[in-house]
């Protein structure tokens, strides 16, 4: 079989497993991203996310993660929900956390894909990555033609917007590579104008330490008083810069049963959240990414919004 056959085989299986888009790029040093990442870290835009400083070289070169790596297979999985929280006055949770924790769902699909590659192609060494290792997933998705990086630093797909999880398989297998596409943001600055904490400090530059997602998920100490009244009722994550993006008018509800929104979560009213107990937290977020904040963290966020 040729690299063309291998590529076609892998992309067909990825789609069968439920991934919406698949792109492949050569496993090489991310030359363009190196100075950008260095500058971002030097300016402390990672805030207290100290893990972002770790494995700098590995973030830029996949061959340090998988010896002999030749290809990065980037995959997108839609999470745009068909329903949102019923009570508009209730504290809001980012759409990506409505259903089962995406790490678990996607890791299983990736492992199936890697097994498929080994069974149908032969001895292939590879590793699966889902937002939990030093991989610049948006950079790889961009290189493999799955979209462009918008001014809000999210990957935007021309056909379907930006409500996607990004994952990778890095393998020591030569494949056919897809090329990057152009940037279609144009003169639009809607995401920058809408950010309530001014976290998008310049086109394509997000100061992570000013982002609502950072305050509600990553920050372990008290949320700074200077953002009081600027959180737009967000208690876990933030979708504002995506909600206003014109490209997300093309977003369609996902087809992944495990991402189906927890009905109890969607039905909770403002008072239910303000009176949240640890028992309810454990029940509602049993398999959710929201578990990451723990009860005490989510309660802190809710109380800050009052």
Which structure tokens are listed for 172? 């020591």
Confirm whether 131 is a catalytic residue. Answer: yes
State CA 102 to chain mean position distance.
9
- Rounded CA gap, 275 and 297, in Å? 14
For the chain, the first-to-last Cα distance in angstroms comes to 62
Look at strands 155-156 and 164-171 and give their pairing: unpaired
Which structure tokens are listed for 60? 């830029």
Q: Which of 61, 131, 243, 272 is catalytic?
A: 131
- How far CA 1 is from CA of 27, 182, 253, in Å, comes to 21, 32, 37
For residue 25, with 0-12 CB atoms within 10 Å meaning exposed, 13-18 middle and 19 or more buried, which class applies?
buried
- Rounded CA gap, 153 and 304, in Å? 27
- Which amino acids are annotated catalytic? 131
């Amino acid at each position: 079989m040729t690299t063309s056959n291998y590529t076609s085989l892998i992309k067909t299986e990825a789609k069968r497993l439920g991934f919406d888009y698949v792109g492949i790029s050569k496993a090489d040093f991310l030359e363009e991203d190196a100075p950008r990442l260095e500058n971002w870290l030097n300016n402390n835009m990672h805030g207290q996310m100290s893990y972002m400083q770790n494995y700098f070289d590995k973030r830029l070169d996949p061959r340090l993660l998988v010896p002999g790596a030749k290809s990065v297979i980037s995959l997108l999985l839609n999470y745009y929900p068909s329903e949102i929280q019923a009570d508009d006055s209730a504290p809001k949770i980012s759409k990506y956390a409505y259903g089962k924790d995406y790490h678990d769902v996607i890791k299983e699909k990736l492992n199936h894909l890697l097994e498929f590659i080994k069974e149908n192609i032969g001895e292939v060494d590879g590793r699966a990555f889902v937002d939990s290792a030093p991989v610049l997933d948006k950079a790889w998705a961009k290189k493999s033609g799955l979209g462009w990086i918008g001014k809000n630093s999210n990957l935007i797909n021309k056909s379907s917007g930006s409500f996607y999880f990004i994952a990778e398989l890095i393998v020591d297998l030569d494949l056919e590579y897809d090329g990057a596409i152009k940037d279609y943001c144009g003169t639009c600055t809607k995401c920058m104008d809408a950010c309530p904490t001014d976290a998008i400090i310049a086109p394509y530059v997000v100061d992570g330490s000013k982002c609502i997602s950072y305050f509600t998920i990553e920050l372990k100490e008290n949320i700074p008083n200077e953002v009081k009244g600027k959180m737009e009722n967000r208690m876990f994550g933030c979708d504002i810069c995506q909600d206003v993006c014109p490209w997300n008018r093309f977003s369609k509800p996902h087809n992944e049963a495990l991402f189906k929104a927890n009905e109890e979560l969607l039905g909770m009213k403002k008072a239910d959240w303000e009176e949240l107990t640890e028992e309810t937290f454990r029940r509602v977020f049993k398999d959710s990414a929201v578990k990451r904040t723990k009860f005490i963290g989510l309660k802190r966020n809710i109380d800050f919004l009052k």
